[in-house]
A and B are shown apart, each in its own frame.
Chain A
Protein backbone atom coordinates (compact mmCIF):
# COMPACT_ATOMS: atom_id res chain seq x y z
CA UNK A 1 0.00 0.00 0.00
CA UNK A 2 1.15 3.53 -0.74
CA UNK A 3 2.33 5.37 2.32
CA UNK A 4 1.81 8.77 0.69
CA UNK A 5 -0.89 9.40 -1.91
CA UNK A 6 -1.00 12.50 -4.08
CA UNK A 7 -4.04 12.11 -6.33
CA UNK A 8 -3.52 15.19 -8.50
CA UNK A 9 -0.88 14.55 -11.17
CA UNK A 10 -1.26 18.10 -12.46
CA UNK A 11 -2.79 21.36 -11.27
CA UNK A 12 -3.24 24.73 -12.95
CA UNK A 13 -3.77 28.03 -11.17
CA UNK A 14 -4.01 31.67 -12.17
CA UNK A 15 -1.30 33.97 -10.87
CA UNK A 16 -2.25 35.58 -7.54
CA UNK A 17 -4.88 32.97 -6.75
CA UNK A 18 -4.66 30.31 -4.03
CA UNK A 19 -4.23 26.61 -4.77
CA UNK A 20 -4.51 23.46 -2.65
CA UNK A 21 -2.40 20.39 -3.32
CA UNK A 22 -3.75 17.19 -1.78
CA UNK A 23 -1.87 14.63 0.25
CA UNK A 24 -3.11 11.65 2.22
CA UNK A 25 -0.92 9.31 4.21
CA UNK A 26 -1.08 5.89 5.76
CA UNK A 27 0.58 5.03 9.05
CA UNK A 28 -0.26 3.23 12.26
CA UNK A 29 2.31 5.25 14.21
CA UNK A 30 1.23 7.97 16.61
CA UNK A 31 4.48 9.88 16.17
CA UNK A 32 5.36 11.00 12.65
CA UNK A 33 6.29 14.07 10.67
CA UNK A 34 4.84 15.43 7.44
CA UNK A 35 6.77 17.55 4.95
CA UNK A 36 6.25 19.30 1.67
CA UNK A 37 9.04 19.83 -0.85
CA UNK A 38 9.18 21.78 -4.10
CA UNK A 39 11.22 20.53 -7.05
CA UNK A 40 11.75 23.04 -9.88
CA UNK A 41 12.90 21.89 -13.29
CA UNK A 42 16.50 22.31 -12.12
CA UNK A 43 16.00 19.17 -10.02
CA UNK A 44 16.87 20.29 -6.50
CA UNK A 45 14.36 19.47 -3.76
CA UNK A 46 13.50 22.51 -1.66
CA UNK A 47 11.95 22.14 1.79
CA UNK A 48 8.75 24.17 2.22
CA UNK A 49 6.93 23.25 5.42
CA UNK A 50 6.72 20.73 8.26
CA UNK A 51 3.86 19.44 10.44
CA UNK A 52 4.32 17.14 13.41
CA UNK A 53 1.66 14.57 14.28
CA UNK A 54 1.27 16.07 17.75
CA UNK A 55 1.03 19.65 16.54
CA UNK A 56 -2.45 21.02 17.10
CA UNK A 57 -1.98 24.14 15.04
CA UNK A 58 -1.63 24.01 11.28
CA UNK A 59 1.88 24.92 10.15
CA UNK A 60 2.46 28.11 8.18
CA UNK A 61 5.56 29.42 6.40
CA UNK A 62 4.99 32.65 4.52
CA UNK A 63 2.63 31.91 1.61
CA UNK A 64 2.58 28.20 2.46
CA UNK A 65 0.24 26.61 4.95
CA UNK A 66 -0.47 23.00 5.74
CA UNK A 67 -4.08 21.96 6.29
CA UNK A 68 -3.58 19.06 8.71
CA UNK A 69 -6.58 16.81 9.36
CA UNK A 70 -5.26 14.00 11.52
CA UNK A 71 -8.44 11.91 11.66
CA UNK A 72 -8.64 11.93 7.88
CA UNK A 73 -4.88 11.39 7.56
CA UNK A 74 -4.56 14.29 5.19
CA UNK A 75 -1.93 17.02 4.97
CA UNK A 76 -2.84 19.34 2.14
CA UNK A 77 -0.54 22.17 1.08
CA UNK A 78 -2.14 25.56 0.47
CA UNK A 79 -0.21 28.14 -1.53
CA UNK A 80 -1.71 31.61 -1.31
CA UNK A 81 -1.19 34.34 -3.90
CA UNK A 82 0.47 32.06 -6.47
CA UNK A 83 3.47 33.38 -8.35
CA UNK A 84 4.92 32.31 -11.70
CA UNK A 85 7.96 31.00 -9.83
CA UNK A 86 5.74 28.53 -7.98
CA UNK A 87 5.50 26.41 -11.12
CA UNK A 88 7.21 23.14 -10.14
CA UNK A 89 6.66 19.61 -8.88
CA UNK A 90 5.46 19.39 -5.29
CA UNK A 91 6.08 16.35 -3.12
CA UNK A 92 4.46 15.35 0.13
CA UNK A 93 6.63 13.24 2.44
CA UNK A 94 6.29 11.49 5.78
CA UNK A 95 8.82 10.37 8.37
CA UNK A 96 7.55 7.49 10.48
CA UNK A 97 9.36 5.46 13.06
CA UNK A 98 11.37 2.41 12.11
CA UNK A 99 12.42 1.51 15.63
CA UNK A 100 15.39 2.58 17.68
CA UNK A 101 14.47 6.25 17.50
CA UNK A 102 15.03 6.64 13.77
CA UNK A 103 12.43 7.85 11.33
CA UNK A 104 12.43 6.77 7.70
CA UNK A 105 11.25 9.30 5.10
CA UNK A 106 8.84 8.31 2.29
CA UNK A 107 7.76 10.50 -0.61
CA UNK A 108 4.60 10.64 -2.70
CA UNK A 109 4.58 10.65 -6.51
CA UNK A 110 4.18 14.40 -6.69
CA UNK A 111 1.86 16.99 -8.20
CA UNK A 112 2.90 19.23 -11.07
CA UNK A 113 1.76 22.81 -10.53
CA UNK A 114 1.62 25.30 -13.39
CA UNK A 115 0.90 28.95 -12.64
CA UNK A 116 -0.60 30.92 -15.52
CA UNK A 117 -0.04 34.69 -15.89
Chain B
Protein backbone atom coordinates (compact mmCIF):
# COMPACT_ATOMS: atom_id res chain seq x y z
CA UNK B 1 0.00 0.00 0.00
CA UNK B 2 1.32 3.45 -0.92
CA UNK B 3 2.40 5.59 1.99
CA UNK B 4 4.10 8.85 2.85
CA UNK B 5 7.68 8.23 3.91
CA UNK B 6 9.43 10.42 6.45
CA UNK B 7 12.90 10.30 7.91
CA UNK B 8 14.29 10.28 10.44
CA UNK B 9 11.62 8.98 12.85
CA UNK B 10 13.39 10.51 15.82
CA UNK B 11 15.94 13.31 16.08
CA UNK B 12 17.70 14.79 19.08
CA UNK B 13 19.65 17.95 18.44
CA UNK B 14 21.30 20.63 20.50
CA UNK B 15 20.01 24.15 20.65
CA UNK B 16 21.44 26.38 17.89
CA UNK B 17 22.27 23.41 15.64
CA UNK B 18 20.73 22.87 12.21
CA UNK B 19 18.32 20.02 11.61
CA UNK B 20 16.57 18.72 8.50
CA UNK B 21 13.63 16.42 7.86
CA UNK B 22 12.81 14.61 4.64
CA UNK B 23 9.47 13.57 3.18
CA UNK B 24 8.56 11.48 0.16
CA UNK B 25 4.85 11.75 -0.67
CA UNK B 26 2.63 9.14 -2.26
CA UNK B 27 3.44 8.84 -5.94
CA UNK B 28 1.27 11.14 -8.04
CA UNK B 29 0.27 13.40 -5.18
CA UNK B 30 0.78 16.98 -6.27
CA UNK B 31 0.09 18.57 -2.90
CA UNK B 32 2.45 18.22 0.03
CA UNK B 33 2.06 19.61 3.55
CA UNK B 34 4.36 20.06 6.52
CA UNK B 35 2.72 20.25 9.94
CA UNK B 36 4.11 20.83 13.41
CA UNK B 37 2.33 19.14 16.29
CA UNK B 38 3.23 20.18 19.81
CA UNK B 39 2.44 17.55 22.44
CA UNK B 40 -1.22 17.70 23.42
CA UNK B 41 -2.26 19.93 20.52
CA UNK B 42 -3.53 19.52 16.99
CA UNK B 43 -1.30 19.75 13.93
CA UNK B 44 -0.46 23.27 12.80
CA UNK B 45 0.16 23.80 9.09
CA UNK B 46 3.63 25.21 8.40
CA UNK B 47 3.75 25.06 4.61
CA UNK B 48 1.72 23.70 1.73
CA UNK B 49 3.14 22.96 -1.73
CA UNK B 50 1.41 22.39 -5.01
CA UNK B 51 4.03 20.66 -7.15
CA UNK B 52 7.15 22.76 -6.52
CA UNK B 53 5.30 25.97 -5.67
CA UNK B 54 4.44 27.20 -2.20
CA UNK B 55 0.67 27.66 -1.80
CA UNK B 56 0.72 28.79 1.81
CA UNK B 57 3.55 29.39 4.26
CA UNK B 58 1.94 32.03 6.40
CA UNK B 59 2.62 30.09 9.62
CA UNK B 60 6.22 29.17 8.79
CA UNK B 61 8.73 31.03 11.02
CA UNK B 62 10.84 32.15 8.11
CA UNK B 63 13.69 33.49 10.19
CA UNK B 64 14.70 29.94 11.09
CA UNK B 65 12.57 27.53 9.05
CA UNK B 66 12.82 26.80 5.36
CA UNK B 67 11.11 24.26 3.13
CA UNK B 68 11.70 23.19 -0.41
CA UNK B 69 10.28 20.81 -2.95
CA UNK B 70 12.61 21.41 -5.84
CA UNK B 71 11.37 18.83 -8.36
CA UNK B 72 7.82 18.72 -7.10
CA UNK B 73 8.26 15.29 -5.55
CA UNK B 74 10.08 14.89 -2.23
CA UNK B 75 10.57 17.72 0.21
CA UNK B 76 12.93 18.89 2.94
CA UNK B 77 12.10 21.00 5.97
CA UNK B 78 15.03 22.68 7.69
CA UNK B 79 15.41 24.46 10.99
CA UNK B 80 18.47 26.63 11.59
CA UNK B 81 19.17 27.36 14.36
CA UNK B 82 17.00 25.03 16.41
CA UNK B 83 15.46 26.37 19.63
CA UNK B 84 14.09 24.53 22.66
CA UNK B 85 10.55 25.51 21.64
CA UNK B 86 10.92 23.65 18.36
CA UNK B 87 10.62 20.31 20.15
CA UNK B 88 7.56 18.73 18.55
CA UNK B 89 6.35 16.12 16.07
CA UNK B 90 6.80 17.18 12.45
CA UNK B 91 4.26 15.56 10.19
CA UNK B 92 4.33 15.41 6.43
CA UNK B 93 1.18 14.71 4.42
CA UNK B 94 0.24 14.54 0.78
CA UNK B 95 -2.93 14.65 -1.29
CA UNK B 96 -3.96 14.46 -4.91
CA UNK B 97 -4.94 18.11 -5.01
CA UNK B 98 -6.04 21.22 -3.19
CA UNK B 99 -9.80 20.74 -3.26
CA UNK B 100 -12.09 21.00 -0.27
CA UNK B 101 -12.89 17.29 -0.40
CA UNK B 102 -9.32 16.14 -0.75
CA UNK B 103 -8.19 13.63 1.82
CA UNK B 104 -4.63 14.02 3.08
CA UNK B 105 -2.47 11.00 3.84
CA UNK B 106 0.05 11.38 6.63
CA UNK B 107 3.46 9.93 7.28
CA UNK B 108 4.52 8.61 10.67
CA UNK B 109 6.23 11.86 11.56
CA UNK B 110 9.60 12.93 12.90
CA UNK B 111 9.76 13.52 16.63
CA UNK B 112 12.25 16.30 17.30
CA UNK B 113 13.77 16.94 20.72
CA UNK B 114 15.94 20.02 21.14
CA UNK B 115 18.23 19.93 24.18
Contact = CB atoms under 8 A, between A and B. Distances in A.
Interface of A: 4, 6, 31-33, 35, 37, 42-47, 50, 52-53, 91, 93, 95-98, 101-110
A103 B100 contact: yes
A6 B108 CA distance: 23
B104 A47 contact: yes
Interface residues of B, number: 28
A43 B103 contact: no
B105 A104 contact: no
B67 interface: no
A101 B98 contact: yes
A102 B30 CA distance: 12
A97 B42 CA distance: 20
Contact of A44 (B35, B41, B106): B106
B107 interface: yes
B14 interface: no
Contacts, number: 72
B60 interface: no
B85 interface: no
Majority SS at the chain A contact face = strand
A34 B80 CA distance: 35
Given A45-B93, A95-B101, A110-B42, 18 more contacts: A33-B102, A42-B108, A45-B91, A47-B103, A47-B104, A50-B103, A52-B101, A91-B42, A95-B102, A96-B100, A98-B55, A98-B56, A101-B98, A102-B48, A102-B98, A103-B98, A103-B102, A105-B45
Ordered nearest first, which 7 A-B pairs have the shortest CB separation?
A: A107-B42, A33-B100, A45-B106, A102-B98, A103-B100, A95-B100, A43-B109
Given A4-B42, A108-B42, A109-B42, A103 B105 contact: no
A55 to B, nearest CB: 9
